[in-house]
Amino acid sequence: MDFELNQPHSSLIPPIDFRALLNEEQFNAVTAEPGPLLVLAGAGSGKTRTLTYRVAYLLSQGVKPSEILLLTFTNKASKEMLHRVQDLTGIEPQRFWGGTFHSLGHRALRIYGEAIKLTRNFTILDADESESLLKQTVESVDKTFFKDKTHPRPGPLFNVLSLARNTQLNINVTVTENFPQYEDIKHRFQAFADNYAKRKQEQNVVDYDDLLELWLKLLTEAPEVAAYFGQRFRHVLVDEYQDTNTLQAQIVDKLAPHHRVMAVGDDAQCIYSWRGADFENIMTFQHRHPGTVIHRIETNYRSTPEILELANAVLLAQPVGRHFEKELRAARGHANKPYVVQTMDEREQAEFLLKRIRALTEDEGVSANEIAILYRSHFLALEVQLALSRAGIPYQITSGVKFFERQHIRDLVALVRFVYNPSDTQAWQRIAVLLPKVGEKGAQKIHAAALDHGRMMQKNFLDALSTDDVKSKVAKDARDDWENFCVSLRQVAEVMQTGTPAAVMETAIDGWYGDYLKGAYADYVERLDELKAMIGFAGRFEEMQDLLAQIVLLNGETSDRQVDPNAEAIKLTTVHQAKGLEFDIVFVVGLADGQFPGRRSIEAGDVEEERRLFYVAVTRARNELYLCYPKVATRAGPGGMLLQPSRFLMEIPGDLYDPLRIKRSFGW
């Protein structure tokens, strides 16, 4: 096909002046000759616009809608892109094969799955059903597996197997690299995975991951189907290519044997390895598709030149040969340099944010909706949430729930509350139901039995829990855990008699609940960090009653119920959740080694994804950027722990930012 620009427009669509509507970089990518194309679209450079106009351009050159395959990661992105195409060309979205990898995999399997012996009437398990079937499978192999509280429960176990499937890695390797808490039992997981797959086949069902695995199998083992797709889809377009996992990249390669594929992405924004994204996919694209032409879209319409200069410095610090060269250029005029803010500790960091936010909203007319506070991990936002709540400044957590409302935080607090006051039946019920096969009614019966036995035998309530009479009321599946549960409660009680509230929290985490956490959550390590933040918070208090009272009061203060959903509010979010968003003012907090980059990355000797995460954080800002770090981590205990500024800050030349020094008596 002739792709000269002077080719007459297709009669299907109205004329479009691509040169007038696109900048030079976008125009060159949109109108590029067919073949393998890698479009490196920097932050804020108009990636979606480029991809949308590429579709419109292909249509203008006579390509039929049915010959274009558009792969995205979210249905929202697919719909947005195809509706933009419709606005440009008048062609309805349903005339394209466009959607997520999983939705298009389902479509392909429903039509052609019989080629790999998948009957057309297969059904898809939802997440709960998948976990339930896996549970049944594991228990058919080992009835006692889930009785051990340190073993992963069905949900976390499914997450382990899912990550291994999507990355196409050995399960043992997957556990070692991502789930160290299961290292001792990883050798058992392959048998579970094999039996789970067999059961799905027997029942003619597939799970979410099968939609990718079986699609790849279809393209690999049914050459006639693969040939059909290769001939039908003359052009394959992939959005956010840097986020593809191993399965998805292999599917793209199989769908495009003609190499007429356009992959749009940014290696500098590859930050999702923990959910399977493989950085190597974008780095090796040109090797898998010989003759790849690389287009760089580097004109940024979002941020000031000063912010982009700092962002470019972050990229320059990457190891040679491990990234694509790029340099963001601002389309906007000059403004203030980013600020680096050193504070004594997390509390002072929060106070600085509070004062600056008040000045921005009250004196400078900035909308609260245009202010974001970004952090690497949830525990880094505790002090910020407390400061904003006390000041009555509305805020919204856009990544999960507020700190004191997170399940594991509420569990820990309930355990300590119960030990402090064994008559607190609400606290008891929350922790008792965490035991296997103990429901609300069972928890009530156990509590009543312990109360009666304690009165009759003149025993302390916690001691009464350990008696045979009370144990007989415990569900059989929970009895193996019961002794450790009771021992842990007594240990917490002993420390509560003579130790500090911080010591009490630490003891509670180190005991039965810490073991429970290993089995309950695949992201155990991250949640454990959040629990440890409670140790530092408890270090502020000398008396347990004051700590518990303050937690309840703060929980009420920080509750979403206290915020008018229609009111303007500061946005608090992890950097991962902030990708794709932008704000006038951005504060990045906790920029200390061990916090950002995280401790695990430093210990592993690989901080490159953390550096890319930092790059994503700084490129969220339009007008002002504040990079904040504490000198002392109070979460380590009353004495604190000295911190070093993030190595990412140290890599930035000093002339690219202005230091903001705290004057503790006079503001800053």
Residues taking part in catalysis: 47-48, 239-240, 269, 620
Q: Supply the DSSP string of 299-357, one letter for each residue.
A: EESSS-HHHHHHHHHHHHTSPTTSS-----EESSPP-PPPEEEEEEEHHHHHHHHHHHH
Indicate the DSSP class of residue 242. Answer: G
Burial grade of 14 (CB within 10 A; 0-12, 13-18, 19 or more): exposed
How many C-beta atoms lie closer than 10 Å to residue 164's C-beta? 22
127, two tokens: 């997440």
**CA quadruple 156, 161, 162, 165: dihedral, nearest 10:** 170
Of 424, 382, 398, the C-alpha closest to 534 is 382
594, with CB counted inside 10 A (0-12, 13-18, 19+), is middle
Nearest one of 619, 615, 40, 648 to 305, comparing CA atoms: 619
296 with 40: CB under 8 angstroms? yes
Which DSSP state fits 363? I
**Could you give the CA distance from residue 313 to residue 320 in angstroms, rounded to a whole number?**
14
Please enumerate, as own/partner, the contacts of 389-394 that have beta carbons within 8 Å and a separation of 24 or more: 389/554, 389/557, 389/558, 389/562, 390/557, 391/354, 391/358, 393/354, 393/357, 393/358, 393/368, 393/570, 394/368, 394/563, 394/564, 394/567, 394/568, 394/569, 394/570
Three-class SS of residue 375?
strand
CB burial of residue 455 (10 Å; 0-12, 13-18, 19+): exposed
| Contacts of 591 by beta carbon, 8 Å cutoff, 6+ apart | 627, 628, 629, 645, 646, 648, 649
Strand partners, 330: 300
How far is Cα 544 from Cα 184, in angstroms, rounded to an integer? Answer: 37
Nearest to 276 by CA among 174, 133, 384: 174
DSSP summary character for residue 14: -
Q: Rounded to 5 degrees, what angle do the CA atoms 592, 593, 597 make?
A: 100
How far apart CA 182 and CA 156 sit, in angstroms, is 10
CB atoms closer than 10 angstroms to residue 358: 12
* Per-residue tokens: 348: 């002072």
